[in-house]
């Protein structure tokens, strides 16, 4: 009887020892993280993963991080969930929490309320939001100086237009897109006081048909350069420009893309030749920011409760590397204005009120 009790006690001690040993090993591998690997995922806004713009850029950054760190796509590695409507935001975030991802991104300001709510409910989880600020200790807020990059493409538009009529198509009329609009208008006016900029908002980031209709009206009025900050809605701007170029290959009309280099979206064949209606793009390196915060978090330096802002000095914004359609003297002007902004000699407006004050200094 004593032998039997001793055997049971020995089994319990061995099991406990193995359990403690396993815990110690995990702590050693992950500095107390409780598991051996780091996993990261993101939830898109309504633009979708293939919006050829904002969400796609974020996913490319996440893919790069995953591949460089030997992670596989899916649970325990790197992944994404796509939102079809704003009703999906909180649901998708919760799904990723339940799947035990170490860092979860909400892509886009539209997810502000959902991230705020879930971060409050799950204080032990780590979150990051792009294009908004959520003041929670477990949320890293990633923002950009979109007005600075937009100023530079405004310089390109102002020095390229032949009609002195330029257009801006925004997604939703909110402070974030107002930064794009204000910076762009300032860049145009700084180099071409005679130019006018017509501004229209589509009211959505996922309706290409609205983007196409607005572009049709603008091009018909004599506008020859349109800058869009409208996510997937902007695909309609490209569609209209390409349709018009197909009908009249000699017509000079341009689109300025946003978030990533959208030169591939401007390719069109007309009259037996290949053209590209993309003048340039305002590159917003969402991919760099997403990669950077994931790397910091993996290394135990999660910037929770902080706002990380990426501007011209950090190469967080700028003009796209594809510059085939920009004249050398225009590129030179872009470099000169960029230097002035980086040095603090020019303060780029990010609101309409600031733009009015900026415009007044030019008179």
Q: Does residue 336 share a domain with residue 280?
A: yes
> Is pTM beyond 0.85 here?
no
Q: Output the pLDDT for position 301.
A: 98
Asked whether the beta carbons of 180 and 355 are under 8 A apart, the reply is no
- What percent of the chain lies above the pLDDT cut of 90? 83
Instruction: Give the number of other Cβ atoms within 10 Å of residue 87's Cβ.
Output: 10
Does one domain contain both 292 and 355?
no
Domain for residue 182, yes or no? Answer: yes
Q: 1 in a domain, yes or no? A: no
User: What percent of the chain is modeled with pLDDT above 70?
Assistant: 90
Q: How far is CA 45 from the centre of its chain?
A: 11
122 and 249 belong to one structural domain:
no
The pLDDT-based confidence of 53 (bands split at 50, 70, 90) is: confident
Is 342 a member of any domain?
A: yes
CATH number at residue 132: 3.40.50.2300
In a shared domain, residues 280 and 155: yes
- State the first-to-last Cα distance of the chain, in angstroms, to the nearest integer: 102
Q: d(Cα 288, Cα 293) in Å, to the nearest integer?
A: 9
Query: pLDDT digits over 183-222, tens only?
Result: 999 999 999 999 999 999 999 999 999 999 999 999 999 9
Condensed to tens digits (0 to 9), the pLDDT of residues 90-102 reads 999 999 999 999 9
- Give pLDDT, residue 317: 96
Give the chain's domain count.
2
> Six-digit token pair at 271?
């009259």
* 305 shares a domain with 252: no
Q: 99 and 200 in one domain?
A: no
Residue 20: inside a domain = no
Q: Is the pLDDT of residue 24 over 90?
A: no
- Model confidence over 322-351: pLDDT tens digits? 999 999 999 999 999 999 999 999 999 999
Q: Are residues 241 and 305 in the same domain?
A: no
Over residues 118-146, mean pLDDT: 97
| Residue 129: partners with Cβ closer than 8 Å, 6 or more residues away | 105, 106, 109, 111, 112, 115, 139, 140, 141, 142
pLDDT value of residue 35: 53
Task: For residue 109, give its domain range.
Answer: 40-144+287-310
Report the alpha-carbon distance of residue 57 to residue 131 in Å, rounded.
Answer: 13
| 319 found inside a domain | no
Quick one: average pLDDT of 252-276? Answer: 95
Residue 139 counted as domain residue: yes
Pairing of strands 278-284, 317-319: antiparallel
Same domain, 239 and 266: yes
4 is a domain residue: no
Identify the band that residue 235 occupies on the pLDDT scale cut at 50, 70 and 90. Answer: very high
Residues 185 and 292 in one domain: no
Q: Are residues 98 and 186 in the same domain?
A: no
Which pLDDT value is given to residue 315? Answer: 86
190 and 128 within one domain: no
Task: Dump the DSSP string for 131-170.
Answer: SS----TTEEEEEE-HHHHHHHHHHHHHHH-SSSEEEEEE
Question: What is the model's pLDDT at position 116?
Answer: 98
Residues 140, 53 share a domain = yes
| Average pLDDT score, the chain | 90
Whether 28 shows a pLDDT value over 70: the answer reads no
Structural domain includes residue 32: no
């Amino acid at each position: 009887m004593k032998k039997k009790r001793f055997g049971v006690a020995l089994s319990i001690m061995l099991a406990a020892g193995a359990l403690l040993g396993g815990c110690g090993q995990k702590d050693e591998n992950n500095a107390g993280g409780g598991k051996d690997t780091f996993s990261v995922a993101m939830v898109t806004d309504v633009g979708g993963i293939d919006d050829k713009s904002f969400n796609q850029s974020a996913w490319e950054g996440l893919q790069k991080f995953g591949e460089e760190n030997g992670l596989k796509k899916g649970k325990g590695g790197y992944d994404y969930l796509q939102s079809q409507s704003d009703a999906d935001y909180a649901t998708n975030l919760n799904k990723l929490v339940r799947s035990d991802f170490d860092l979860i991104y909400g892509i886009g300001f539209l997810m502000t309320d959902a991230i705020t709510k879930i971060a409050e409910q799950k204080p032990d989880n780590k979150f990051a939001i792009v294009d908004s600020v959520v003041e929670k200790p477990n949320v890293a807020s990633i923002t950009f100086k979109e007005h600075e990059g937009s100023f530079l493409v405004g310089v390109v538009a102002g020095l390229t237009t032949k009609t002195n009529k330029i257009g801006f198509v925004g997604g939703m009329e909110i402070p974030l897109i107002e930064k794009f609009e204000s910076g762009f208008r300032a860049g145009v006016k700084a180099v071409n006081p005679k130019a006018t900029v017509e501004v229209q908002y589509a009211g959505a980031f996922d309706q290409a048909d609205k983007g196409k209709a607005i572009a049709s009206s603008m091009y018909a009025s004599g506008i020859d350069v349109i800058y869009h900050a409208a996510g997937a809605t902007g695909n309609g701007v490209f569609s209209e420009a390409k349709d018009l170029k197909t009908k009249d290959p000699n017509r000079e009309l341009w689109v300025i893309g946003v978030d990533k280099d959208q030169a591939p979206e401007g390719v069109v064949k007309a009259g037996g030749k290949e053209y590209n209606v993309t003048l340039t793009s305002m590159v917003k390196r969402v991919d760099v920011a997403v990669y950077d915060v994931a790397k910091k978090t993996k290394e135990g330096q999660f910037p929770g409760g902080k706002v990380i802002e990426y501007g011209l000095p950090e190469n967080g914004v700028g003009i796209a590397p594809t510059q085939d359609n920009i004249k050398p003297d225009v590129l030179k002007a872009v470099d000169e204005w960029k230097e002035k902004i980086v040095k603090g000699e020019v303060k780029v407006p990010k609101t309409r009120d600031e733009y009015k004050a900026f415009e007044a200094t030019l008179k």
